[in-house]
Amino acid sequence: MKIIVHGPAAGMDWRNMIESWAPDQPVDIDDGDKAAVAWARVRIGTGLATLVEDVAVREPRSPKAPAAAVQASTRA
């Protein structure tokens, strides 16, 4: 995920570290870090940042069969 933070601004980032952003500073967010993505979405929602590139779309996983069903099918 990529955002542009419209600074100058300062505050807590997704790692709970105090950060200072320059005017229109690009920030790269790790798509796998749920806390970082949530932090970025809040900043976008408040107008402090603009979305440049959203989280990459993942392929849906096929649902796994429950273990009991798999065991029952192997006994038959």
Most confident of 22-26, 58-62, 65-69: 22-26
| pLDDT range class, residue 30, cuts 50, 70, 90 | very high
How is the chain split into domains, by residue range? 2-56
Average confidence score pLDDT of the chain: 86
pTM score: 0.71
**19 versus 59: which is more confidently predicted?**
19
Q: Which residue has the tokens 């993942």?
A: 58
Confirm if 6 and 50 have CB atoms less than 8 A apart. yes
Q: pLDDT tens digits, residue range 39-61?
A: 999 999 999 999 999 998 776 67
What lies within 8 Å, CB to CB, of 20 at 6+ separation is 7, 8, 9, 10
| Helix locations, the chain, DSSP H | 34-46, 67-75
Beta strands (DSSP E) in 1-76 are 2-5, 9-12, 18-21, 25-28, 49-53
